[in-house]
Structure 1
Amino acid sequence: MKLIYTLLLVTLGMGLNAQNSYQIGMNKAFELWGKGDSAEAANLFERIGSAEKNNWLPYYYAAQLQIIGSFDMADPVLKERKLEKAQEILDQAKQYSEKDNAEVMVLQALLYTSYITLDPSVYGMKLSGTINEIYRKALELAPENPRVIFSKAEWDMGSARFFGEDPGKYCPEIEHSLELFSNFKPEAEFFPDWGQERAKMILANNCKK
């Protein structure tokens, strides 16, 4: 009986140490991100994902950093490589996540959007319909998720501009996302909660009354 009790204590201690290491690592990665060291933050998120197994969140943030960094890249070859890397990491997040994860779906839509900025003539026709379908499904799965509402509205605004339409017709969706952001509570520690500040900026720049 004493041996069983000792083994239980050891097992519990190992679990607590692993959890503590995960929290320390994730907080460090976010700290690096906040300081502007996106490359090192992305690398750390990937290392955490490799160590954690079965956890989609580190891969989610590693992919997000790659996607964000791709939008402003001028060199098409380097940009495409970065997007290919982002897709590899995002596929890891998908592997360890539930099948229909609206948060991961939003990142996939953003990744495809960056591909369109790489070459609109090639990727616009190829991916626009796919992006619309991703947002449609994400909205169906998570109608109260502010990132889904906001990201879809920003995509719709960009599409409207491309076709010479008024992007302002999507301002109510941006406003709705901000209402949702104000009451949003992440499901658990380190779950996504980004987007509110960008939604405010989009509203200020595109929805002046």
Structure 2
Amino acid sequence: MKHLLLIIALCSSTFLVAQTKYEQGMRKAMELWDQDKLDEASNLFERIATVEKDNWLPSYHVAQIAIVKNWRDFENQNETTLKVNGDKAQEYINAMRTIEKDNPYADYLQAQLYTVWVAYDGMKYGMKYAGTIGELYQKMVKKDPDNPIFIADKAQWDMGSAKYFGSSIEPYCAELKRAIALFATFKPETEFHPQGNVKRALESAEACN
């Protein structure tokens, strides 16, 4: 019996150490991101992803950073740079889907990635991606109907499309305001899960006033 208890204790200790290393690494990567050290943060998330093969969160953050880099100084970006970052984002979105096939956060990032291309050249990429973006948002909101991250981004996409076609944005304002209200009580599953961007939602809602 003593031997069994010792084995259980050792296994538990090993598990806790592994968890601690994961958490320490993720916190360090998030800290680097907060310091705007995007390349360093991405490199650390990539290293964690190679170890945490059944955990989609490190891959999520690698893809998210690559997409953020494409939005940075967007007007001065060229198509080659967008493609390099976009290909990296796609690689890690695919990795997320390998780990969890129907992960709505993979759809969320995919919609963001396609939106970069539509924003870059609407004439060239609008017909190619706009319909798919709408479908992705419909899918993720249907899967998680009270997630303010999905609701807000879908409303912002719909508002942008309405403005482009000269339509009223009013039908989408209610959903955006609902998302803002939900952010007040939104609790991600862990500190490393997507947090959303309530500030951007609030800024978008100003167009509704």
- What TM-score does the superposition give when structure 1 sets the normalisation length? 0.92
Match for residue 171 of structure 1 among 168, 173, 190: 173
Q: Offset of 1:28 from its aligned partner?
A: 0.6
Gaps of 5+ in 2: none
- 2:208 maps to a residue whose letter is C
Taking the TM superposition and a 5 Å limit, the aligned residue runs for 1:10-159 are 10-72=10-72, 73=74, 74-97=77-100, 99-159=101-161
Residue aligned with 2:175, SS: helix
- What TM-score does the superposition give when structure 2 sets the normalisation length? 0.92
% same residue: 41
Aligned-partner Cα distance in 1 for 2:106–2:155: 17
Residue aligned with 1:185, SS: coil
Aligned-partner Cα distance in 2 for 1:69–1:169: 31
Aligned-partner Cα distance in 1 for 2:147–2:13: 36
Aligned-partner Cα distance in 1 for 2:53–2:153: 29
Aligned-partner Cα distance in 2 for 1:116–1:39: 25
Aligned-partner Cα distance in 1 for 2:179–2:114: 22
Asked whether 1:4 is paired with 2:7, we answer no
Aligned-partner Cα distance in 2 for 1:71–1:168: 26
Runs of 4 or more off by more than 4 Å in structure 1?
none
Superposition CA RMSD, Å? 1.5
Q: Offset of 1:83 from its aligned partner?
A: 0.3
Aligned-partner Cα distance in 1 for 2:111–2:149: 12
Aligned twin of 1:207: 208
Aligned-partner Cα distance in 2 for 1:65–1:173: 27
- What do the CA deviations read for 1:61-87 (whole angstroms, capped 9, x no partner)? 111111111123411111111101110
Aligned-partner Cα distance in 2 for 1:170–1:5: 59
Aligned twin of 2:190: 188
Q: Offset of 1:40 from its aligned partner?
A: 1.0
Aligned-partner Cα distance in 2 for 1:128–1:94: 21
Aligned-partner Cα distance in 2 for 1:153–1:41: 29
Whether contact under 8 Å (1:135, 1:152) holds in the other structure is yes
Q: Offset of 1:168 from its aligned partner?
A: 4.4
Aligned-partner Cα distance in 2 for 1:187–1:30: 16
Q: Offset of 1:7 from its aligned partner?
A: 2.6
Whether contact under 8 Å (2:148, 2:196) holds in the other structure is no
- What do the CA deviations read for 1:83-120 (whole angstroms, capped 9, x no partner)? 011100111122222x3222221111101111212322
Gaps of 5+ in 1: none
